[in-house]
């Protein structure tokens, strides 16, 4: 088995993140640092990541979590900030988040120990639309909606076409819904800033056919079998 898949199956990270760990010298096989991304390991090898021996998990777990504002989407944090993993109190396997939501964004996040699925969900070739609800300052005009739909420059990068609609006007502000099939850093916030409608609040409500629904903030649930099958077949 390739070393990145071995690490992913152990529930440490996706295969792409595992490649980063290898490239940074954080992975050893039988006590020797491995630098080759395509290195193959066998069941008799001892693999360690950051000094800790890891083994592939045979039981896969898939969780949908409603991330609160003020939590980081990481397994560990040097600044000692609250982590999304702190919210999952009864997991008996090592999980990691698929993708990210920034510190001030809430909403749907998938946690798993299935590195292959995580790799599929985050790979650019799969157009998985992620849908957000954004409360923005001011009243969004038809012209601004059109720009967001066609793509806007967010600093040297023009976004791909998005699906955008107004949900309702709240006082002097607007609640809108946006769906994008890409995931640049802080992309939604940058898109809305580009049309002069900065974000007040931002929540992700779906990842493809996986819905946040009525899941309470900070709460989580196991994915249904049909949801797991959907993600495996994208």
User: Annotated active-site positions, please?
Assistant: 102
Alpha-carbon separation of residue 163 from 40, 155, 188, 215, 224 (angstroms): 43, 20, 12, 24, 27
CA distance 28 to 10: 14
Residue 225 buriedness (CB in 10 A; 0-12 / 13-18 / 19+): exposed
CA distance 82 to 103: 10
Angle, helices 115-122 vs 225-232, to 10°: value is: 60
- What are the start-end ranges of the E strands in the chain? 27-29, 32-33, 47-49, 52-54, 62-67, 96-98, 106-112, 130-137, 163-170, 173-180, 199-207, 210-211, 220-222
The residues, any chain, with a CB within 8 Å of residue 175's CB and separated by 6 or more, are 133, 134, 135, 136, 166, 167, 168, 169
In this structure, the number of other CB atoms found within 10 A of the CB of residue 59 comes to 8
Rounded to an integer, what is the distance from CA 98 to the centroid of its chain?
4
CA distance 3 to 46: 11
């Amino acid at each position: 088995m390739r070393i990145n898949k071995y690490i992913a199956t152990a529930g440490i990270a996706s295969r792409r993140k595992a490649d980063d760990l290898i490239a940074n010298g954080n992975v050893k096989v039988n006590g020797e640092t491995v630098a080759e991304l395509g290195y193959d390991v066998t069941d008799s090898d001892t693999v360690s990541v950051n000094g800790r021996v890891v083994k592939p998990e045979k039981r896969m777990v898939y969780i949908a979590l409603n991330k609160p504002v003020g939590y980081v989407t990481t397994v560990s944090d040097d600044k000692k900030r609250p982590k999304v993993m702190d919210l999952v109190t009864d997991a008996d396997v090592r999980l990691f988040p698929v993708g990210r939501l920034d510190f001030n964004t809430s909403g749907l996040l998938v946690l798993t120990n299935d590195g292959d699925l995580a790799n599929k969900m985050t790979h650019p070739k799969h157009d998985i639309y992620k849908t957000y609800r954004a409360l923005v300052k001011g009243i969004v005009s038809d012209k601004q909606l059109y720009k967001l739909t066609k793509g806007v420059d967010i600093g040297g990068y023009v976004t791909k076409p998005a699906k955008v609609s107004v949900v309702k006007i709240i006082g002097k502000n607007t609640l809108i819904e946006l769906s994008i099939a890409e995931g640049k850093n802080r992309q939604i916030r940058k898109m809305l800033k580009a049309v002069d409608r900065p974000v007040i609040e931002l929540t992700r409500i779906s990842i493809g056919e996986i819905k946040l629904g009525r899941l309470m903030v900070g709460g989580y649930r196991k994915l249904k079998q049909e949801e797991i099958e959907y993600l495996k077949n994208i």
